[in-house]
């Protein structure tokens, strides 16, 4: 049988030699063996030198994603090995305790491109974002069941990026028991209810775990505005740590209903929080006009950037809300400003935050740099795996 192979153009193998796992269409000289969507292909240089083994995606600008830079078979044993390595890493981080939640597999950062697996208590939620991951779906799930004790595996492959791979969106039970309507997890002593069927991402923003914990150290007796609050992750953390008043703001009434339940689950008195259903941009302007002030403001907006062409517009959006946030702070207040857009460079985001402070006539100091939790690791050879960046800024 003829080997399925991708041959690169002269000089287009440098990134692979530095172990970056993507091959873009512009780097491809020719394709041999007629591979189909998701097939395993060998990657070679123009001179025929072996560079890696990857998955083929003819409809994407990323023509192939590297499974391995070694000459090895991509099979059940391969996925067993990689998944075990990923889980051993989380175990070493102390994140595999009963009732807790973490990201078990973080796609390219765990050398399994397109494979995301999150653990919520006794259930696993899987997202398959690439053609290669989709082809190996059953093998991946079989390996997970063999390695991890779980009641069930639920799929949330309902993200737009799948269309770029020529894949349809898909959700539903893959193995084991159907997850309950809401799954309760424990995070640093706090309790949260998670909707893995309909919630954002796979149900919760696990990447903000450490930042929610960091917030707890600065909120005692403070008023807190939690913008884009979703189901109240930062709000619960602040209120339970002794905040005088927490205001959760989100455009989704359903998310705020779950935020209310999360507050109640943690025995937080209703007198110490409020949930406001509103457009954050509009409400911040309303609060500005009312001269309403807060001691601490959390800005954790959704992803603003899907392509490099949107960077300028997104930068304006980030600056707009940060400027409004600074204007709403009491003297000496703190702004936690986040971007979860991987295409936003951290130095540019710092400049945007600085410009926003300047326009708000605030002298800001970065007290702490914030990032994604370590179960969402950054692979040095794949800088794209660093996506969540933030600053805790004190305003004078």
Helix, strand, coil percent content, the chain, rounded in steps of 5 = 35, 30, 35
Range list of β-strands (E), the chain: 5-8, 22-24, 28-32, 40-44, 50-56, 62-68, 101-106, 115-120, 123-128, 152-157, 170-176, 183-187, 190-194, 223-227, 245-250, 273-277, 294-299, 329-339, 364-371, 389-395
What mean pLDDT do residues 7-21 have? 96
How far apart CA 357 and CA 348 sit, in angstroms, is 14
Two domains, one topology: 5-68 and 205-395: no
Q: At what angle do helices 311-327 and 346-359 cross, to 10 degrees?
A: 40
Least trusted range by pLDDT, from 170-174, 234-238, 304-308: 304-308
Q: Count the Cβ atoms, other than its own, within 10 Å of residue 200.
A: 13
Distance CA 150, CA 98 (A): 11
Q: Is the pLDDT of residue 1 over 60?
A: no
Of 2.40.160.20, 2.30.130.10, 1.10.540.10, 3.40.50.1970, the CATH number of 5-68 is: 2.30.130.10
Q: Does domain 76-176 have CATH number 3.40.470.10?
A: no
**Over the stretch 139-197, which tens digit does the pLDDT of each residue have?**
999 999 999 999 999 999 999 999 999 999 999 999 999 999 999 999 999 999 999 99
Characterize 105-115 residue by residue with b for buried, 16 or more Cβ atoms within 10 angstroms of its Cβ, and e for exposed: bbbbbbbbbbb
pLDDT of residue 384: 94
CA–CA gap between residue 246 and residue 15 (Å, rounded): 47
Structural domain boundaries in the chain = 5-68, 76-176, 205-395
| Mean pLDDT, rounded, for 372-385 | 97
Could you tell me which CATH number the domain at 205-395 has?
Answer: 3.40.50.150
Mean pLDDT over each residue of the chain, to the nearest integer = 96
pLDDT of residue 312: 84
pLDDT, one tens digit per residue, over 71-124 is: 999 999 999 999 999 999 999 999 999 999 999 999 999 999 999 999 999 999
Question: How crowded is residue 74: how many other Cβ atoms within 10 Å of its Cβ?
Answer: 18
């Amino acid at each position: 049988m003829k080997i399925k192979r991708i041959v690169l153009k002269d000089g287009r193998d440098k990134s692979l030699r530095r172990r970056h796992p993507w091959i873009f269409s512009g780097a491809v000289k020719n394709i041999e063996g007629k591979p189909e969507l998701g097939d395993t292909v060998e990657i070679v240089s123009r001179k025929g030198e072996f560079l890696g083994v990857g998955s083929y995606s003819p409809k994407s600008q990323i023509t192939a994603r590297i499974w391995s830079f070694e000459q090895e078979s991509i099979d059940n044993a391969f996925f067993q090995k990689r998944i075990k390595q990923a889980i051993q890493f989380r175990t070493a981080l102390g994140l595999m305790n009963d009732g807790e939640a973490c990201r078990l597999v973080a796609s390219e950062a765990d050398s399994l491109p397109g494979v995301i697996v999150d653990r919520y208590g006794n259930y696993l939620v899987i997202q398959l974002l690439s053609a290669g991951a989709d082809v190996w779906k059953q093998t991946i799930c079989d390996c997970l069941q063999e390695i991890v004790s779980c009641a069930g595996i639920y799929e949330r492959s309902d993200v737009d990026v799948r269309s770029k791979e020529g894949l349809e969106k898909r959700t539903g039970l893959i193995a084991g028991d159907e997850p309950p309507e809401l799954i309760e997890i424990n995070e640093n002593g706090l309790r949260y209810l998670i909707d893995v069927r309909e919630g954002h991402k796979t149900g919760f923003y696990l990447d903000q775990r450490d930042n929610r914990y960091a917030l707890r150290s600065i909120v005692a007796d403070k008023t807190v505005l939690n913008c884009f609050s979703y189901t109240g992750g930062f709000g619960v953390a602040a209120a339970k740590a002794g905040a005088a008043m927490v205001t959760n703001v989100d455009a989704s009434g359903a998310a705020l209903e779950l935020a209310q339940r999360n507050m109640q689950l943690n025995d937080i008195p209703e007198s110490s929080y409020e949930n406001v259903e509103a457009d954050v941009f509009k409400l911040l302007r309303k609060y500005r006009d009312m001269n309403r002030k807060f001691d601490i403001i959390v800005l954790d907006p959704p992803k603003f950037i899907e392509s490099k062409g949107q960077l300028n517009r997104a930068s304006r959006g980030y600056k707009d809300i940060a400027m409004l946030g600074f204007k709403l702070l009491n003297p000496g207040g703190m702004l936690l400003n986040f971007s979860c857009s991987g295409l936003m460079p951290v130095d540019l985001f710092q400049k945007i935050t600085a410009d926003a402070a300047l326009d708000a006539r605030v002298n800001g100091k970065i007290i702490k740099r914030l990032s994604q939790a370590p179960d969402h690791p950054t692979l040095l050879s794949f800088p794209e795996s660093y996506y969540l960046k933030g600053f805790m800024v004190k305003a004078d």
